[in-house]
Every structure is written in C-alpha cells, then in structure tokens.
Amino acid sequence: MEFQFDLEANKEKIKNFKIFIEKNKGKQGALMAVLHKAQDQFGYLPKEILNVISEELKIPLSEIYGVVTFYSRFSLIPKGENQISVCLGTACYVKGAQKILDKVEEELGITVGGTTPDRKFSISDTRCLGACGLAPVLVVNEDVYGRLKPEDVKEVLDKYR
Amino acid sequence: MHSTHVLVCGGTGCHSSEGDKIRELLAEKVKEKGLDGHIKVILTGCFGLCESGPNIVIYPEGIFYSHVKLEDVNEIVEEHLQKGHVVKRLLFKESYVDGVIKPVNEINFYKKQTRVALRNCGLINPENIDEYIALDGYQALSKAVTEMTQQEVIDLVKTSNLRGRGGAGFPTGKKWETAFKYSADQKYVICNADEGDPGAFMDRSILEGDPHSVLEAMAICGYAIGANQGYVYVRAEYPIAVHRLEVAIEQAKEKGLLGKNIFGTDFNFDIELRLGAGAFVCGEGTALMESIEGKRGMPRVKIHRTSHKGLWGKPTIINNVETFANIPVIFQKGVDWFRSIGTKDSPGTKVFALGGKVKNTGLVEIPMGVTLRDIIFDIGGGIPNDKKFKAVQTGGPSGGCIPEKYLDISVDFESLAELGSIMGSGGMVVMDEDNCMVDIARFFLDFTVEESCGKCTPCREGTKRMLETLERITKGEGTLENIDTLESLSGTITIASLCGLGQTAANPVISTLKYFRDEYEAHVNEKRCPSGTCQSLLEYFITEKCIGCTKCARNCPVSCISGEIKERHVIDTEKCIKCGTCMEVCPAGAVIKK
Ligand SMILES: Cc1cc2nc3c(=O)[nH]c(=O)nc-3n(C[C@H](O)[C@H](O)[C@H](O)COP(=O)(O)O)c2cc1C
Ligand code: SF4
Ligand code: SF4
Ligand code: SF4
Ligand code: FES
Ligand code: FES
C-alpha cells in the first residue's frame, strides 16, 4: 500500500529539522542521530526527508538507505497513530507471547510490520522490553501491559479504538 | 529532618502499573496531612521483585507493601504514616507469615542476595545527584584523580580481578592497561548499554536506578587510560533509562564532576549519549563502534585490538553497564572486600534477570558461586502452578539450556561454560514441563537469523538452514538425518563465523541436543511433541468429562465437532485446524491436547 508524504503540511517541521541537522553537522557520526530525530519528527522516514538528509550531510542516498534498512527501529512506511509492540523476547516467549501476537494480528487484520489502512494501528515485534518480570508483555505507545492472556488483548486494543 | 522514607518503585515493571501515580498521590496526601516535614516520598529504581509490583518500602522499619493500588494510598497514609499501624492486608505475602511481620531485608528473596552493582537501586532517587553523593558517590573519582596515578588506578582494578559482566568475562583491569600503554592523541571510553539479549534487563535497571555509578566509573576509566571523551550507547527502546542518563549527565556537569578540570585537576572528561536502533549485533564491540560512527552496525575483522584501534581508529575501552557499576564501590570499600565476595576466579557478584516459569520473576544479584538451585528455588520461589522444572536457559541466544541434574553447580564463568552454556549478560529464563526444547531451539535460531548482519556466509546461510530444519522437525516432517545435519552445521558455523553472534549461534541447538535428545527423537520418530507445544503435532480430544453442552460444536470454526445434546462430543481430527477454540470455551474442562 502507498502512503503519501505531505510536504506542504510538514513545512514547519522540515524547517526545524533542517536547523537540527545544521547544529549536528559537525559531529562525528551524525547520521544516526539525524535519522532518530527524523523518525521522531515525522513518525517514519519518507524518501523526501532522506533526500534532505543526503543533501545536508553530503552522504549519498544509497548509503543512507543502507543504514536505514539495517536497523529495525527505522521505518520507511508510516507507523499507525497507536504503535503496538509485542515482546517476543525469551521470557515472554516461554510464557506464550506468540499467542498474544497472533491475537493482535487477528484483531487488527494486519501482520507484524504492517499499518492498518486508516493508520490507526501498527504492529511490530520487539525483543525484550526489559519488563520480563511481567511477561508476556505488550506495549501500546508508552503504556506497558503485562501478565497478558490472549483473551485480554481485545480489551486493551479497545481502549485505543 | 526526614525520619520516615517512603520508597516507591519507579522501575519499568512498577511504572507500567501506575507506580508513578501512586508516588504522586502519596506525596500529595502526605502534604495534605502536614506530614511532609518528617516523611519523604521518593521514586526509586527497580527493587527487583517486579512480579509483585507496584511495590513500596517504608523505612526505617523496612515494611514492604506489594500489589499496591491507587485506592490503597489513603489507607497507607492514614493508618501507617499517621497512626503507625501497619496495613497487614497490603504486606508482601512472604513478609507476613504466622502473624509476624518481617522487614524487607529478611525475606527469602533478598536474604540470599548481595547487592554490589545494585547497591543503590531502589534506595535512592536516580534523578537527584545529591542522594548519590550522600551515599559516597563520586568519592572514588575524587580519590582516583587527586590521589592516584593512572597506573595505580589500573593496578587496583587489576588486583580486584573484576571480570567483564557483558558476556565473556574478560579481566577489566587488563583491558584498561592495554589502552593505557598505547599512546595516541585521542582515546575513548564506551559504555555498552545495548542489552540486546532477549530476556535480560539488568543493565536497564542499573541505568534507571543508579545512572551516576556508571558515569562515575566511566570517568575513572577515562582518567586511567587517558581519554577525555566517553559515549553511552543505549537502546532507544529504553526511554526511561535514556531520560535518567540525560538528567544525570546534566547534573554531573553542573557540579563540575564531568567536563573540564575535574576536582580542580587538569583532567577533562565528557560523556555523550548515542542511541541504538534495534540491531542485536550492535552489542558486539566493533559493530557498536561502526554504529556510533554512523554506519551499518557490522562487526569488523579484528586485525587490531579495539584497545589499540577502536572508535575512529583510536584506542577505545568498551565495558558493560554492570561492569562499570562495580567500579566505584571497589574503590570505596577496597580490593580485599571485593575479593571476599564470590569465588577465587570469579570474585564479586552477578546480576541476573530471572524470568520465565518461576514465581518471583525479577532482578537478583548473587555472589558468584551460589547454585542454580538456590537462585531458582530459594530466591525465585520455585515453579508456579505445581509444574515440574525442566531446564534453565542462561546466556540468551549465545547460551544453552541446563537440565535438572546440574542444578547444583556453582554459578561462575567456568562452571557454566563446562555445561555448554555461558554466563552471558545474565538472562536466566526458567522453563517447565510445558515448554518444548526443540521449539526453544527453533525460537533462538529464528532470532539469530533475523539478527545476523549477513557479512559472513556460514552465519547468514547456515543459521537459515538450521532454522528450516528445526521448523520441519517441529511440524512433524523431520527425519533422523535432519538431526545429523543440525550437528554438522553447528560445527561449521561455530568455527567459520567472524563474530561472537555466529560463533555461538548454534549453542542453543547443541545444548538441547545434548540434554534433551529424546525430545528431538520423539518429534522425528513418533511425530509427537512430549510437552504439547508444537501445534502441528497436537491432537485435540474430548474426554468423558464432557457434559454435552454443545458449546464447542457451536464455536468450532470448521464445524468438525459432532454429538447430541447431553452426550459426549467427538472431534473429527482430520478436519480440525487446531485453533484451540473448543478447549477455551468448554465449561467442563473436557477438551484436552495430546
Ligand atoms: C552479538 C553480540 C552481542 C553483544 N551484546 C552485548 C550487549 O548487549 N551488552 C554488552 O555489554 N555486551 C555485549 N556483547 C559483548 C561485547 O562484545 C563486549 O564483550 C562487552 O561489552 C565488553 O564489556 P565487558 O568486558 O565489561 O564485559 C555482545 C557480543 C556479541 C558477540
Ligand atoms: S558472524 Fe554473523 S553477525 Fe557476526 S559478522 Fe558474521 S554474519 Fe555478521
Ligand atoms: S481445535 Fe478448533 S478446529 Fe479443532 S475441534 Fe477444536 S474448535 Fe474445532
Ligand atoms: S463444550 Fe465441553 S462439555 Fe460442552 S459439549 Fe463440548 S466438550 Fe462437551
Ligand atoms: S522478554 Fe519480554 S520483556 Fe523481556
Ligand atoms: S520494576 Fe518495581 S520491582 Fe522491578
């Protein structure tokens, strides 16, 4: 599915973003920090923004794509308004995290890595959120839900619908 | 003067169940009642017993309340804080036995622990540098830079025999010395806070609960080797840790403990944060450096040691968070004290993230040399729901599964390695009879395949073939030959890979094959999964407990259940898609998996 990036609506953000790049340009290894900032500001890394980064930092676009695709946190498609991450770390897995993920996918009709067409939800799987004591764990945006059973999933998602 | 301290856990676990709101409300109520002159409410780092959170401890008595809810706050304030009556119904269950209230340090979970790296976690407010300083914080740094030579600092770390807590157990002092002796115009100190190991969160807890101990140690290391710049490479997935580090660096700079002319000497040291972006392999030292340099985090071919040529080609020391957290206290309390804890070859303690099928999941810190049984059954409280212990996995994807017969071995670097596992960073995941060991091996290979950086063929292709083979076995399509293939691939990948990820990728398979071969054989020979995990090998079956309510038949998505009202129902196993719905809906518990 195609997601369109609205340059006009993001004008102000792009301006601020360029100021951030300007400030960090001199730093060694600035690319990672700039990509993190871009993802924070725009929710994902649209190619229009990668072009800006390439021009400002004087790094070829091909190299930037190489870096972006290497790290799982960077995304080339928009994330949903509500980002769901299901922990598939070992502690969560042995306590049935796979069933939680299956249930989330079933409820939302998308699979891991996807975003619902209305952009309300996206799902990702992560490896250990450092809350293993509460396994299995699911995070919606910043809210952590622990000790989950598959039958609890619907109730959690309903809060964000 | 505050005579009573109310500590509210602000660790990730408790935070997720409203720990911070509880603290706010407590502080508000305390103020409302005019008690704020002598009662102080503090948000701390993780107490370790995340399972029972949100947790509160009230000092000086050490009264331990668990599972606290917002509604309980009033009662705690009015009964405990105002009238001095302990609210018994909120006490942690093990701290109230036979009518006797035990203070927090006397319950089993804490009694067997020795807190060195976690000494301040759960005791101080991590966002207030003064509380760290009040507990002698930054004294070690002061002593190092004003009273000791670089060599003396290194000798002290060397004689303490502190070994790296990030996995391999390399002697820290020796590493520092290499960088010290190599002259260069610029050197660096890196704190490895990537903690990509799934099932581990001790580094996170230290950063969240006691960030200054890490910063102080980095500065000591900087002084020792002659570096003026440090980096903390921390996972972006740890927002609370990132925030507290930012606050801590800011406060240390304000007080002149970081920056220029530290303690009036000509020693300068600065620390910057760099965020990881979700690649496990970036925890490997050279890959981490590539990542800080703004590149794909792929391990380098090691022609040089990183302590000679590391970040931007300069001498660099990289140590783990927990390793650093040990440093200041060794300076404060001395080498003899440190060596009196643990074993001769592995002095000190190790923090474990105890998780999986164990009652008291959480963070535990034990002297090296304690047995696995002590950790799992005494501190951990054993296996929940009367299930049987099957194995404990240590060392994450680079480690192995240890069966019951070795529960009495001592936990130290050498003993674990002898069993084909490793200490690793300290993830410890307990498994019970319901976990299938073939499936666990498959789970780790799935992880490795996803995380392999792809630079070398044995790791990139070999792990993929292993995963496919394991998948075939868990689906009941495996043969005995497949097991041989797994063994030969394990050998090749281990010796032919460039970095630690590939070199250890086969460990979960090797160890499960060694200790649980019968499970592999049941899968390939009898097409049976003994623990009932592997979906494709299961059959759903209705027992005579069935009361004939028809609920299962009405809910089965493929209508493969038949039977008359009030009579026992039957599943047509040919058509069954194993969705498990019948088992979930059955009011009589008549449906079983076999
Ligand atoms: C694939 C891989 C991942 C690693 N991940 C980590 C990690 O997350 N944290 C860590 O401290 N060390 C990690 N290590 C170990 C580091 O390479 C290095 O040995 C360690 O940071 C050195 O610190 P220490 O001497 O204090 O243990 C990893 C190693 C490999 C091969
Ligand atoms: S062993 Fe694997 S992770 Fe390590 S460098 Fe080779 S391909 Fe990359
Ligand atoms: S497991 Fe699912 S498909 Fe099979 S009998 Fe039960 S409800 Fe029907
Ligand atoms: S739901 Fe349970 S009790 Fe009811 S008919 Fe099915 S198996 Fe029998
Ligand atoms: S394994 Fe899921 S939070 Fe650690
Ligand atoms: S998060 Fe509160 S005890 Fe661990």
Q: What is the tens place of the pLDDT at every residue in B129-138?
A: 999 999 999 9
Which of A23, A31, A32, A126 to substitute to test the interface with B, most B CBs within 10 Å?
A32
Q: In what helix (H) or strand (E) does residue B221 lie, and over which residues does it extend?
A: helix B211-225
Question: How far, in Å, CA of B439 to CA of B94, rounded?
Answer: 35
Contact B459, B502 (CB under 8 A): yes
Contact B431 A94 (CB under 8 A): yes
Rounded to whole angstroms, the Cα distance separating B305 from B293 reads 17
Closest residue on chain B to A28 (Cα): B293
pTM, two decimal places: 0.90
Task: Find the CB nearest B294 among A30, A93, A128.
Answer: A30
Answer yes or no: is pLDDT of B374 > 70: yes
Does any ligand 4 atom lie closer than 6 A to the CB of residue B591? yes
Q: Which has the closest alpha carbon to B198: A161, A5, A125, A56?
A: A125
The predicted-structure confidence for B39-82, as pLDDT tens digits, reads as follows: 989 888 888 888 888 999 998 889 999 999 999 999 999 999 99
pLDDT at B3 exceeding the cut of 60: yes
Tell me which chain A residue has its CA closest to the CA of residue B357: A95
Does the beta carbon of B118 sit less than 6 angstroms from any atom of ligand 6?
no
B97's tokens:
């036995």
Residue partners of A91: CB distance under 8 A and separation at least 6: A128, A132, A135, B198, B199, B353, B355, B356, B361, B427, B429
Is A90 close to B292, i.e. CB distance below 8 A?
A: no
Ligand 3 proximity of B269 Cβ (cutoff 6 Å)? no
CB of B14 closer than 6 A to ligand 4? no
Mean per-residue pLDDT for A87-106?
90
Task: Tell me the C-alpha distance between B84 and B164, whole Å.
Answer: 46
> pLDDT tier at A123 (50, 70, 90 boundaries)?
very high
Judged by average pLDDT, the poorest of B47-61, B443-457, B517-531 is: B47-61
Largest CA distance in chain A: 52
For residue range B471-489, list pLDDT tens digits in order. Answer: 999 999 999 999 999 999 9
Q: Measured between CB atoms, does A29 come within 8 Å of chain B?
A: yes
Alpha carbon of A126 to ligand 5 centroid (Å): 9
Range of lowest pLDDT (B17-21, B151-155, B466-470, B545-549): B17-21
In chain A, % helix, strand, coil (3-state, to 5) comes to: 50, 10, 40
- Grouping H, G, I as helix, E, B as strand and the rest as coil, residue A151 is helix
Interchain pair B278, A71: CB under 8 A: yes
- Percent of chain A with pLDDT strictly greater than 90: 53
Q: Rounded mean pLDDT of A31-43?
A: 93
Q: What's the gap in Å between B568 CA and the centre of ligand 4?
A: 7
The mean per-residue pLDDT over the stretch B375-395 comes to 94
- The structure tokens 């404990």 sit at B392
Q: Which helix (H) or strand (E) holds A139?
A: strand A138-140
**Tokens, residue B519:** 């499970």
The amino acid present at B168, given as its one-letter code, is A
How many interchain CB pairs under 8 A, A with B?
140
What is the pLDDT of chain B when averaged over all its residues?
A: 93
Q: Does A128 touch chain B (CB under 8 A)?
A: yes
Reported as a single tens digit per residue, the pLDDT across B387-431 is 999 999 999 899 999 999 999 999 999 999 999 888 888 899 999
> CA-to-CA distance for B285 and B311, rounded, in angstroms?
10
Beta bridge partners, B227, equal none
How far is B342 from B413, CA to CA, in rounded Å? 11
Instruction: State whether residue B370 is helix, strand or coil.
Output: coil
Reference B155, options B178, B174, B169, B139; nearest CA is B174
Q: Which residues contact B481 (CB under 8 A, 6 or more apart)?
A: none
Q: With an 8 Å Cβ cutoff, is A95 touching chain B?
A: yes
Mutate to test the interface with B, among A99, A132, A142, A145 (most CBs of B within 10 A): A132
- If one counts every other C-beta atom within 10 angstroms of the C-beta of residue A87, the result is 31
- What amino acid is encoded at B428 in this protein? M
Residue of B nearest to A39 (CA): B277
Tell me what pLDDT residue B213 has: 97
Could you report the per-residue pLDDT of B499-513, keeping only the tens digit for each?
999 999 999 999 999
Q: How far lies B8's CA from each of A142, B133, B212, B476, B488, in Å? A: 20, 20, 20, 50, 52
Domain segments of chain A: what residues?
10-70, 82-159
ipTM: 0.89
Residue B421 structure tokens: 């596992």
CB-CB contact of B317 with B188 (8 Å): yes
Q: Pick from B319, B342, B81: which is nearest to B218 by CA?
A: B319
Q: Touching check for A30 and chain B: CB below 8 Å?
A: yes
Does the C-beta of B577 come closer than 6 Å to ligand 3? Answer: yes
Question: Dihedrals φ, ψ of B467, to 5°?
Answer: -60, -45
pLDDT tens digits, one per residue of A44-74: 999 999 999 999 999 999 999 999 999 988 9
Ligand lying nearest the CA atom of residue B12: 6
pLDDT at B18: 82
Kindly give the distance from the C-alpha atom of residue B556 to the centroid of ligand 4, in angstroms, as a whole number. 11
Q: How many degrees, rounded to 5, is the angle at CA B113 between CA A93 and CA B369?
A: 85
Q: Decide: B378 and B357 in contact? Cβ < 8 Å.
A: no
For residue B156, name the pLDDT band (cuts at 50, 70, 90): very high
Helix (H, G, I), strand (E, B) or coil at A113: coil
Q: How confident is the model at residue A2 (pLDDT cuts 50, 70, 90)?
A: low
The predicted pLDDT at position B237 comes to 84
Long-range pairs of B149-154 with CB within 8 A, sequence gap ≥ 24: B150/B180, B150/B223, B150/B224, B150/B225, B150/B226, B151/B180, B153/B220, B153/B223, B153/B224, B154/B180, B154/B224
**Nearest residue (CA) to ligand 4, atom 6:** B552
Cβ distance of A146 and B16 shorter than 8 Å: yes
Mean pLDDT of B121-150: 94
CATH architecture of A82-159: 3-Layer(aba) Sandwich (3.40)
Among A57, A70, A143, pick the best mutation site for testing chain B contact (most B Cβ within 10 A).
A70
- Assess contact for A80 and A124: CB atoms under 8 A: no
The residue type found at B418 is: E
φ, ψ (nearest 5 deg) of residue B366 = -125, 155
Closest chain B residue to the Cα of A130, Cα to Cα: B201
Contact A29 B393 (CB under 8 A): no
Q: Which atom of ligand 4 is nearest to the CA of B591?
A: 7
Residues of A in contact with B471 (CB under 8 A): none
Ligand 3 centroid – CA A99 distance (Å)? 16
Binding-site annotation, residues of A for [2Fe-2S] cluster: 87, 92, 128, 132
Q: Would you tell me how many other CB atoms lie within 10 Å of the CB of residue A79?
A: 18
Residue A88 contacts B where some CB pair is shorter than 8 Å: yes
A23 at the B interface (CB within 8 A)?
no
Secondary structure class of A29 (helix, strand, coil): coil
Q: Return the bridge partners of B350, or none.
A: B366
Q: Cα(B317)–Cα(B222) distance, rounded to whole angstroms?
A: 9
CB contact under 8 A, B292 and A32: yes
Return the structure tokens found at B270.
Answer: 């600065």
B291-334 residue pLDDT tens: 999 999 999 998 888 999 999 999 999 999 999 999 999 999 99
Q: What's CA B366's distance to the chain center, in Å? A: 14
- Of B207, B47, B211, B43, give the one whose Cα is nearest residue B113: B47
With tokens 């509460």, the residue in question is A134
The 8-class DSSP code of residue B522 comes to H
Residues constituting chain B: 594
Q: Whose alpha carbon is nearest atom 1 of ligand 4? A: B586
| Helical ranges in chain A per DSSP H | 11-24, 30-42, 47-57, 61-70, 90-94, 97-108, 153-158
B1 has pLDDT over 80: no
Quote the Cα angle for A5-A6-A11, to 5°: 125
Q: Which residue of B has its CA nearest to A149?
A: B584
Q: Which of B188, B192, B215, B187 is nearest to B202 (CA)?
A: B192
From CA A134, how far away is CA A24, in angstroms rounded? 39
CB of B421 closer than 6 angstroms to any ligand 1 atom: no
Tell me the Ramachandran region of residue B494: left when phi exceeds 0, alpha when psi lies from -120 to 50, beta otherwise: alpha
Cβ–Cβ under 8 Å, residues B108 and B359: no
Shortest CA distance to B333 belongs to which of B126, B136, B122, B112?
A: B136
User: Hey, are the CB atoms on A128 and B200 less than 8 Å from each other?
Assistant: yes
Is B392 in contact with B361 (CB distance < 8 Å)? Answer: no
User: Nearest-CA residue of chain B relative to A63?
Assistant: B295
Are B230 and B203 in contact by the 8 Å Cβ rule? The answer is: no
B312 within 8 A of A160, measured Cβ to Cβ:
no
Structure tokens belonging to residue B539: 């059959």
Closest to B443 (Cβ–Cβ): which among A71, A74, A93? Answer: A93
Mean pLDDT value across residues B11-34: 87
The DSSP result for B241-304, as a single string, is: HHHHHHHHHHHHHHTTSSBSSGGGSS--BEEEEEEE-S-GGGGSHHHHHHHHTTS---PPP-SS
Cis bond before residue B508 (omega within 30° of 0): no
Residue of A94, A101, A132 best suited for mutating to test ligand 5, as the one with most atoms within 8 Å of CB: A132
B55 lines ligand 6 (CB under 6 A): yes
Query: In Å, how far from its chain's centre is CA B337?
Result: 26
